[in-house]
Structure 1
């Protein structure tokens, strides 16, 4: 009677009444490509409810998922795989401004402290990541550094500038003490020499203008969420740096940007920027770190081991590297004022 009244086949109505089918929902004729990854996504989001969907999508693609990103996010929503979090609901209404960034004009820099680095690093509670971004194209690179002191900052600036492919006309910083006097914004004399060496103008953000360097702030957010959250606990500093460089090349540089001629990748836009060449030698700053000598009288530095006299076993020494010299000095005490007791050729990170 129901089938005659509705004008449908009675077998269809019988299936609805028995609960075998749901009105308005068609049965799939092929297997659901997302089904094999449901349990993996549920466990990953239960472990880390704030994991970005883009990061999770990268993981399932490596596991063999062949669907698109919109389909993936729709499956997450439909199946309610992400636990609800009221504190993370987006806020709206914050005033913003669109700032023009001509090609080759500005590189933006910022530090980010990443929590809970692997204990084997010996870096304490936080790792320090320096991020540099070409403001026009959005290409960014990062450098994992042991300290935020000026010498380490200079080493990171040189490393990232060479990875970006050249020097822009200006470098923009917030009011960090290693670059300027925070109350006044005036560049320090020591960093002015660095700017002169690389031929750049130093631009300091105005006070209480957090959005002024929004390009690097977004890159910092991406580095913390898509790189650091998924980093295994058993990697070395050198392997972590290699993973970051690979991610920037394979993921960051392949993003599409709106241009006058349509859409182009970040790598394409960055390749067209008029950048000045990087100086042949880095600025001659001396970066110093403290190390504990092993029982075998070896000192670890950037994935390599350097020997010291056996009487220094299990003591604390300082390792200083002057950028551009190609060697490192090991001091007999915990700071660089102690006498130099060993000098070694600086090997490439993680080569032995």
Structure 2
């Protein structure tokens, strides 16, 4: 490979009339190399490949994916091309992305300014940071609400999908994250959530203070406009949104939760931090044990009763008495309880069921509900003979009169329909 300086020298000597052999002896290069550069067959500074280009077959796919989403992480795209058969390493893959200039420029993000940061020391097991991550365009419709909990020392995170961000759903998701982590840190750091504190003063709400006492922890509320103070969870939010959510394929929240748990335990815990994996740092976390049952908050969500008098909740279906189909009912569940209640719009409990595991696809229908629904269905069926659809039915007298009126309005020709009426009467 000739450098730019050597190529300039060779070009100048060639224009002066030097032969290829003389230029090669002068530069200490092979004659075939000099000839290829002077003919334009090779470019200075670009080494000829001596191994097959493994990236070339995957370049169109990578180009299209980055054109669709300029912010798609290289690691997420690497997972996709590996599934398609890409044989090289991640480092080689991202080097080819940069060398070929496949990632387009995002004008909206080109002028984003940074701000100073500083590392804060966190003893093992001392702090866990919490934050909601709102994810638009959920495959099952609407916006997904994800509560993320991150241990500040190791960077270990777990996250739980919730139907809302009210205090009951916050407590339920919070308990789910802690049980996935295997314990709780001594302090919880949160921003100024309306379900945690008074946003104007930063003082804890009495209802959430009871939750903190139940788990035996202290709560630190971040000051206003200090998002960097909980930078560990903010970083995990960005990681989840770009690395997991952008490429997620799931049809239900339960399927998404299952894939998220697997992602957190494999890809999430394999990340490197300070020369060690997150899993190795997590082993040093000294977490406090959790109570046997979650804090007894009461979750309540609305559902519409189906035509089969069933209510869907967490991937399972529960029956209600007939007569409520198409109406809105509330599903009420106390955390830690094995029972759920279905409450009508009037506030009365219309059914109670044993809770099925989330995403099990179970159908829970009481025997009395089945019997009552069968009676309603049978009574609604017609008792007479079904309509004979192949029977001959020519136009009747009313239709003939309407036809005569139309013909009389559109033409002066007088048409007698008596013969047609006789044929129609005979056919009956």
TM-score by length of 2: 0.76
Of residues 46, 58, 61 in structure 2, which corresponds to 1:37? 58
Match of 1:191 in 2: 208
State the alpha-carbon separation in 2 of the partners of residues 246 and 59 from structure 1.
Answer: 17
Contact 2:331–2:343 at 8 Å: present in 1 too? yes
Of residues 7, 23, 32 in structure 2, which corresponds to 1:5? 23
Contact 2:23–2:34 at 8 Å: present in 1 too? no
State the alpha-carbon separation in 1 of the partners of residues 149 and 292 from structure 2.
Answer: 20
What is the CA deviation profile of residues 209-265 of structure 1, one whole-angstrom value per residue up to 9, with x for unaligned ones? 121100011111111111111123x5211111111111111111011222xxxx321
Q: What is the Cα deviation at residue 17 of structure 1? A: 4.1
Q: What is the Cα deviation at residue 38 of structure 1? A: 1.1
State the alpha-carbon separation in 2 of the partners of residues 142 and 43 from structure 1.
Answer: 31
Equivalent positions of 1:282-321 (< 5 A) are 282-321=294-333
Equivalent positions of 1:108-257 (< 5 A) are 108-118=129-139, 121-122=140-141, 124=142, 126-232=143-249, 235-257=251-273
Q: 1:14 aligned to 2:35?
A: yes
Q: What is the Cα deviation at residue 36 of structure 1? A: 2.5
What is the CA deviation profile of residues 259-288 of structure 1, one whole-angstrom value per residue up to 9, with x for unaligned ones? xxxx32111211221111111000001111
Of residues 336, 340, 349 in structure 2, which corresponds to 1:328? 340
Of residues 262, 270, 279 in structure 1, which corresponds to 2:282? 270
State the alpha-carbon separation in 1 of the partners of residues 283 and 355 from structure 2.
Answer: 32
State the alpha-carbon separation in 2 of the partners of residues 275 and 90 from structure 1.
Answer: 42
Match of 2:110 in 1: 89
State the alpha-carbon separation in 2 of the partners of residues 241 and 215 from structure 1.
Answer: 21
State the alpha-carbon separation in 1 of the partners of residues 105 and 269 from structure 2.
Answer: 32
Match of 2:197, SS state, is coil
Structure 2 vs 1, CA of residues 219 and 294 (structure 1 numbering), >3 Å: closer, same or farther? same
Structure 2 vs 1, CA of residues 93 and 348 (structure 1 numbering), >3 Å: closer, same or farther? closer
Q: What is the Cα deviation at residue 46 of structure 1? A: 1.1
Structure 2 vs 1, CA of residues 29 and 95 (structure 1 numbering), >3 Å: closer, same or farther? closer
State the alpha-carbon separation in 2 of the partners of residues 101 and 81 from structure 1.
Answer: 39
TM-score by length of 1: 0.92
Q: How much is the aligned-residue C-alpha RMSD, in angstroms?
A: 1.7
Match of 2:227, SS state, is coil
Match of 1:80 in 2: 101
Q: What is the Cα deviation at residue 10 of structure 1? A: 3.5
Q: 1:349 aligned to 2:358?
A: yes
Match of 2:392 in 1: none
The structure with more radius of gyration: 2
Q: In proportion to residue count, which structure has more helix?
A: 2
Q: 1:26 aligned to 2:35?
A: no
Q: What is the Cα deviation at residue 91 of structure 1? A: 5.0
Structure 2 vs 1, CA of residues 90 and 61 (structure 1 numbering), >3 Å: closer, same or farther? farther
State the alpha-carbon separation in 2 of the partners of residues 204 and 219 from structure 1.
Answer: 19
Structure 2 unaligned runs (5+)? Answer: 1-18, 362-428
State the alpha-carbon separation in 2 of the partners of residues 303 and 217 from structure 1.
Answer: 30
Higher RCO (CA < 8 A, seq sep 6+): 1
State the alpha-carbon separation in 2 of the partners of residues 3 and 157 from structure 1.
Answer: 77
Q: 1:71 aligned to 2:70?
A: no
Structure 1 unaligned runs (5+)? Answer: none
State the alpha-carbon separation in 1 of the partners of residues 160 and 293 from structure 2.
Answer: 18
